[in-house]
């Protein structure tokens, strides 16, 4: 019984500390957005996005290959 009341008191104590949490984080105001304006900048942006997508898909493929190899080794070991 005492444990339940202790938890409830801690929970009620947290309600009074709301303002303390709000003061910890500040809004980010110094970062400017990267918006391409010229055709060259837009092309560079699209190229960078395509490169990143290619890297991600290659990583997924490598992971799939690895899992298949490990599963086949495990199944051969069971026989």
DSSP 37: -
Consecutive sets of 10 residues in the chain, 79 residues long: mean pLDDT of each? 63 57 63 88 96 98 97 84
Q: Residue 36 contacts by C-beta under 8 Å, 6 or more apart in sequence?
A: 42, 44, 45
What integer pLDDT is reported at residue 51 of this predicted model?
98
The answer for 34, left when phi > 0, alpha when psi is -120 to 50, beta otherwise, is beta
The pLDDT value recorded for residue 73 is 92
The pLDDT assigned to 7 comes to: 63
């Amino acid at each position: 019984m005492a444990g339940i009341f202790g938890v409830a008191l801690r929970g009620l104590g947290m309600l009074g500390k709301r303002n303390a949490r709000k003061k910890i984080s500040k809004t980010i105001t110094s970062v400017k957005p990267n918006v391409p304006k010229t055709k060259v900048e837009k092309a560079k942006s699209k190229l960078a996005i395509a490169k990143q997508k290619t890297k991600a898909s290659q990583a997924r493929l490598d992971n799939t290959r690895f899992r298949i190899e490990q599963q086949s080794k495990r199944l051969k070991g069971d026989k």
